[in-house]
């Protein structure tokens, strides 16, 4: 609540002097009547009328008080908030080559752990369009940029080995991501690339793709997945069934570091599931959606709530003073 013309409230200082003047003027003053016998006064109820005459003055004072406050124009405000969001366009590029079957990210293989962590990342975003690209020897768009996270998560669950011919075409994966981001008007556009191998397929070199990304204003965060040294890899043996062999972890960290650096991004090494979760959380903190909040207050006039009762009090005072509380001169 506020007063649009608060200076009118200064008029309230005249009310105490008016009350004092009225009470002082009533003491020992006023008209009088002559009676032939004082016994007549015993049968009258004039004292009640005299007492009620103070009520007339009270009505007048109350009306004046309401008029003064109404002149100050009391206003009540309704607050509402406008939220402006500036989302980020994100494309997740996920390696689905058979090397992702390695089970150094216990209790699951690299691909399944990467899917679970990506799911947590998606569920933690708000107002960002997110798309998904998978790659092996070739690359395909698993999901275009969307705000429908339910559809995105469903398509994420459907990712598995064998979708694409085996191999590791990192440059092709980045190229497909850039095709999805080329028409984006978002101020911030990023690719989160996760791979566990060395680029050995495709017509686009990863560094060339990085140069293209820089031209389009796209930042790349590259994640190298895999423990150091060797990792257990499941092999299906026709005689002994499923068994594990130790395979060397081949990861081109130098290339991934350069790809990220060219675009202003960063390279991360994930050696286990816990570290992969930390990396996604770190990227999420670095790439926050900008949210602006503007608060408005809309005021409405409420002087009528005071002016109408003041008018009623004035009318009541006029009617009473000319009827049952009429003063005899």
The whole-number average pLDDT for the span 168-188 is: 93
Residues whose CB falls within 8 Å of the CB of residue 167, separated by 6 or more in sequence, listed in order: 97, 136, 137, 138, 200, 201, 202
Q: Which pLDDT value is given to residue 300? A: 75
The whole-number average pLDDT for the span 116-126 is: 93
Its CATH class, for the domain covering 88-288, is: alpha beta
Q: Which pLDDT value is given to residue 255? A: 96
Q: Domain boundaries in the chain?
A: 2-26+40-78+296-321, 88-288
Q: Is the pLDDT of residue 50 over 60?
A: no
The whole-number average pLDDT for the span 165-177 is: 96
Which of residues 46 and 139 earns the better pLDDT score? Answer: 139
The whole-number average pLDDT for the span 98-126 is: 93
Backbone angles phi, psi at 259, to 5 degrees: -60, -45
What distances in angstroms separate CA 67 from CA 2, 256, 306, 320, one per listed residue?
Answer: 16, 77, 7, 20
Q: Which pLDDT value is given to residue 47? A: 45
Residue 138, number of CB atoms within 10 A of its CB: 17
Residue 301, beta-bridge partner list:
75
pLDDT tens sequence across 65-99? 888 887 888 887 666 555 556 679 999 999 999 99
Q: Is the pLDDT of residue 237 over 70?
A: yes
Helix (H, G, I), strand (E, B) or coil at 133: strand
Element (H, E) at 176: helix 170-181
The whole-number average pLDDT for the span 94-105 is: 95
| Dihedral sign of CA atoms 45, 50, 52, 53 in order | positive
The whole-number average pLDDT for the span 294-316 is: 74
- Write down the pTM of the prediction: 0.65
Residues in the chain: 329
What distances in angstroms separate CA 262 from CA 88, 180, 184, 237, 284, one per listed residue?
Answer: 20, 20, 20, 44, 20
Q: Give the mean pLDDT of the chain.
A: 84
What distances in angstroms separate CA 221 from CA 255, 259, 268, one per listed residue?
Answer: 13, 9, 8
**Pick from 71-75, 76-80, 233-237, 243-247: least confident:** 76-80
- Are 161 and 95 a contacting pair, CB within 8 Å? no
The whole-number average pLDDT for the span 33-51 is: 51
Helix (H, G, I), strand (E, B) or coil at 307: helix
Q: Which pLDDT value is given to residue 329? A: 54
User: SS in 3 state form for 195-255?
Assistant: ECCCCCCCCCCHHHHHHHHHHCCEEEEEEEECCCCEEEEEEEECCCEEEEEEEECCCCHHH
The token pair that represents 57 in the structure block: 């003055």
pLDDT tens sequence across 252-298? 999 999 999 999 999 999 999 999 999 999 999 888 766 555 566 67
């Amino acid at each position: 609540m506020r007063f649009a013309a608060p200076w009118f409230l200064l008029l309230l200082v005249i009310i105490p002097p008016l009350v004092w003047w009225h009470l002082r003027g009533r003491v020992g003053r006023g008209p009088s009547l002559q009676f032939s016998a004082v016994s007549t006064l015993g049968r009258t109820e004039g004292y009640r009328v005299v007492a009620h005459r103070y009520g007339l003055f009270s009505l007048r004072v109350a009306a004046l008080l309401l008029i003064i406050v109404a002149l100050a124009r009391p206003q009540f405000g309704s607050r509402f908030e406008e939220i402006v969001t500036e989302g980020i366009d994100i494309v997740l590029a996920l390696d689905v080559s058979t090397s992702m079957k390695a089970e150094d990210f216990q209790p699951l293989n690299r691909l399944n752990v990467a899917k679970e962590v990506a799911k947590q990342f998606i569920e933690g975003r708000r107002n960002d369009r997110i798309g998904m690209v998978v790659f092996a020897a070739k690359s395909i768009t698993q999901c275009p940029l969307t705000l429908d996270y339910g559809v995105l998560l469903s398509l994420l669950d459907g990712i598995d080995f064998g979708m694409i011919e085996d191999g590791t075409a990192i440059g092709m994966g980045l190229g497909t991501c850039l095709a999805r981001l080329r028409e984006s008007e978002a101020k911030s556009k990023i690719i989160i690339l996760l791979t566990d191998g060395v680029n050995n397929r495709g017509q686009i070199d990863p560094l060339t793709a990085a140069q293209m990304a820089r031209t389009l204003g796209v930042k790349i965060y590259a994640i190298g997945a895999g423990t150091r040294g060797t990792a257990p890899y499941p092999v299906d043996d026709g005689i002994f069934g499923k068994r594990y062999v130790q395979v060397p972890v081949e990861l081109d960290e130098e290339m991934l570091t350069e790809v990220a650096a060219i675009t202003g991004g960063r390279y991360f090494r994930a050696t286990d599931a816990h570290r992969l979760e930390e990396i996604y959380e770190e990227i999420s903190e670095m790439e926050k959606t900008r949210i602006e909040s503007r608060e408005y207050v809309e005021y409405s006039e409420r002087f009528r709530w005071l002016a109408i009762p003041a008018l009623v009090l004035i009318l009541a005072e006029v009617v009473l003073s000319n009827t049952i509380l009429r003063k005899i001169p």
